[in-house]
Amino acid sequence: MLSSKPDDDLLTFVDEDAPVPSADTQIWRILIVDDEPDVHQTTLMALKEVVVEGRHLEFLHAYSAVEAKVLLAKNKDIAVILLDVVMESDDSGLQLVCHIREDCANKALRIILRTGQPGYAPEIDTIRSYDINDYKSKSDLTRVRLFTSLTVAVRSYWQIHQLEAGRRGLELIVKASAELSKPKGIRLFAEGVITQICALLGVTEEGVVCAASEVSNVPPYVLAAAGLYAGWIGQPVKSIPDERVRLDLINALASRRHVFGTSTCLFFSVPGDQSLVVFVDIDRKISTLDRDLLEVFCGNISVAFENTQLYQRISLLAFEDSLLKLPNRNSFLARIDQRSADRDTLALVDIDDFADINSILDQNFGDSVLRVVAERLRRSFTSAVVVARVGSDVFGILGPGKEVSAEKIATIFASPFEMSEESFRLSATTGLMRLSDASIKSVELLKNAGIALKQAKTFNRGKAVFFELSHAMAARERMKMLSQLRSAFSSERLFLVYQPFVNLASGRIVGAEALLRWRTDQGEFIPPDRFIPLAEQSGLMVPIGDWVMRGALRFLKHLLDLGQENFRMAINVSHVQFREPDFVQKLITAMEEQNVKPVNVEIELTESVAIENVGLIEQKLLAVRAAGVTIAIDDFGTGYSSLNILRKMNVDRLKIDRAFVSSEDGLNQDYDIAGMVIRLASQLGLETIAEGIETHEQRDRLFALGCSEGQGYLFSQPLTSDLFQALLIGEQSR
């Protein structure tokens, strides 16, 4: 970790006798800055043939501070400057020192100040104020003293140079580690490693090869390459035409270690069976410092390599369905956003009755069904079509309209599927959408296709429906209404009204049905047949149903206290509410809380409540009756009941639907179905009540057929609790 202290705290000086890298052609470059030509000549003569730390000296000459600035800008490797203090101005030498240290930020270059006027700039003050190595009078600089000062300066330069090179290398390593640790694929990672090593060694990307070790029985191959070797990408290592490169890579992979020689191979390893080797072809020997930096680099990059492998595994989990090896929903959404112009049709294919396959057989069989369907979908389309799994039994298909069509999908499911030497037939319901607007995001497009699928499942099961804007508008309207319903329920804008039951023989009120109503803030009434299905689908019906139950029983208790001892309160119970495991206990608890007798309570259920699980419903109905509550079947004749189901449901009363009592004009001359229901109820020992009675003729005909009770606008519209109570009091006074 880098220190947060000032730069000087980071410096650790190497031993004074640390070896200087030898190089036959390398030299120490010395700059002489003096306005007297004789000084230049004298210095050259004094240092002729001198070798410092194994290197010869090369001299550059400047006769003013201005010329020195030019040379310094052109030559970045000057080790020492022999600098006169007084030249074109009295302090031009000192100003040049400031320029070197501050403007050029050159801290490595060593400076030896020489002056012919010793008294002008005092030695101690000058050394204290300026970053220089030495400050001598020209007359004091004998050949020996000059050699000594120069040698000390060169050694200082080399130490600082090595430290700065190490620091720059460490900065590059930190930067590379951060860059290469970012999520990316193995190939991109390998390309990044090449780039970072080249920067670290100060070489171009020409001549660097990266090879992956053997994975999943795939022999080592060239994963990334640069410069002249770029054409080798994808080739097996054993096929590399350059023998030197080939053998070095094979040697490093086999030995699983770095190889330093005429060329350099760096080995990167992580837990598991995958590794990388980078071949670097440089024309110089790797220095000790570079080796140390490369060791640190390789350690960091091995960790980054492991992170990259982990990212790839996570990516598979995030974007691939583990069961079917298809793109999952996340991947499908991305492909929709990245689609080409010819992929203009989106389809969602839902396997019909798949839940029954899982529940009747088992999940393993269901998984096998999904596999054979996925395989047929893959084989049925070209590579231009994307097939994905976007739900438990829903497949997403994206491709050209000429391939992704209702007819093509119907053909795919037309023939039987083969599995374990057995054949079986499946049907599918499909929602399709044409993708004409490229600006619409994938989530919105998939939502619209889902709306088309839901439309198809509701009205054209087993068929295909294309999305229409009206579908989306209707869906948005339903969502808006659901949101408003939640708000209305929480702010108590729902309320109950009561419509009386009348004994057709006596004309007296014998009970009432509690009905739920919703009035918006604007005073608009929303019909129950619009908001009740939404409440059932959203799960809101259970808390609303509980609220209705408590409110109706509370009003029942009030009427009983007024003396209506034989009054019956009927409460509509949604099939969603009735299927709740604790429904019966909730009903019993609510009656106990309001202190009402079960004999005064009736629940109304629709026929559809018994369709899915007759046995379970039968047990619940027995529990309700055991609690003393009576049961009525609402809207009888419009549902799906068979006589067998009706007998098993063990109910007390049948309500004849208004469709069999009155037509739109309030008249219905055909009472055959109503008569059949009344006779059936009589044979089963059940009471009957007719809904929707609007005329005296209807009342008389139904009474003549044997119907015992009636309900409808002839007697009263649904009333608030206050008005209903007034109606009862008025009847008692007659």
CATH of residue 361's domain is 3.30.70.270
Q: How far apart are CA 240 and CA 244, in angstroms?
A: 9
CA distances from 318 to 214, 327, 393 (A): 26, 9, 18
Last residue of a domain, one of 318, 344, 369: 318
Give the pLDDT confidence of 524-561 residue by residue, as tens digits: 888 888 888 888 877 888 999 999 999 999 999 999 99
14 is a domain residue: yes
Do residue 135 and residue 22 come from a single domain?
yes
Strand 208-212 and strand 221-226: pairing? antiparallel
Do residue 284 and residue 239 come from a single domain?
yes
* Whether residue 214 has pLDDT greater than 80: no
Do residue 638 and residue 693 come from a single domain?
yes
Do residue 306 and residue 404 come from a single domain?
no
CATH code (residue 539) = 3.20.20.450
* DSSP code for 338: T
Do residue 354 and residue 302 come from a single domain?
no
276 is a domain residue: yes
Last residue of a domain, one of 297, 318, 339: 318
486 is a domain residue: no
- The confidence score (pLDDT) of residue 12 equals 30
Give the pLDDT confidence of 36-62 residue by residue, as tens digits: 898 899 889 888 888 888 888 999 999
CB atoms within 10 A of CB 350: 21
Average model confidence (pLDDT) across the chain = 81
Do residue 461 and residue 558 come from a single domain?
no
58 is a domain residue: yes
CATH code (residue 63) = 3.40.50.2300
Backbone angles phi, psi at 124, to 5 degrees: -65, -45
Quote the strand ranges of 286-365, DSSP E: 345-351
Do residue 312 and residue 412 come from a single domain?
no
Do residue 547 and residue 678 come from a single domain?
yes
Do residue 430 and residue 531 come from a single domain?
no
Q: Which domain holds residue 386?
A: 329-467
Strand order in the sheet with 55-62: 51-52, 55-62, 27-33, 78-84, 110-115, 134-137
40 is a domain residue: yes
Do residue 149 and residue 261 come from a single domain?
no
723: phi > 0 → left, psi -120 to 50 → alpha, else beta; which?
A: alpha
- The confidence score (pLDDT) of residue 395 equals 96
Q: What percent of the chain has pLDDT over 70?
A: 78
Contact 456, 429 (CB under 8 A): yes
CATH code (residue 289) = 3.30.450.40
Last residue of a domain, one of 136, 168, 200: 168
Contact 266, 258 (CB under 8 A): yes
Whether the CA torsion 75, 79, 85, 86 is positive or negative: it is negative
CB atoms within 10 A of CB 261: 10
476 is a domain residue: no
* Whether residue 261 has pLDDT greater than 80: no
- The confidence score (pLDDT) of residue 612 equals 57
Amino acid identity for residue 472 in this structure: A
Q: Total structural domains in the chain?
A: 4
Do residue 557 and residue 659 come from a single domain?
yes
* Whether residue 457 has pLDDT greater than 60: yes
649 is a domain residue: yes
Give the pLDDT confidence of 381-393 residue by residue, as tens digits: 998 999 999 998 9
482 is a domain residue: no
Which residues, at least 6 apart from 543, have a Cβ–Cβ distance to it below 8 Å? 489
Assign 3-state DSSP to the chain and report helix, strand, coil percentages, each to 5.
Answer: 45, 20, 35
Do residue 264 and residue 243 come from a single domain?
yes
Out of 87-101, 268-282, 497-511, the most confident range is 497-511
Out of 137-151, 445-459, 688-702, the most confident range is 688-702
Give the pLDDT confidence of 672-728 residue by residue, as tens digits: 888 888 998 898 889 999 999 999 999 999 999 999 999 999 999 999 999 999 999
* DSSP code for 7: G
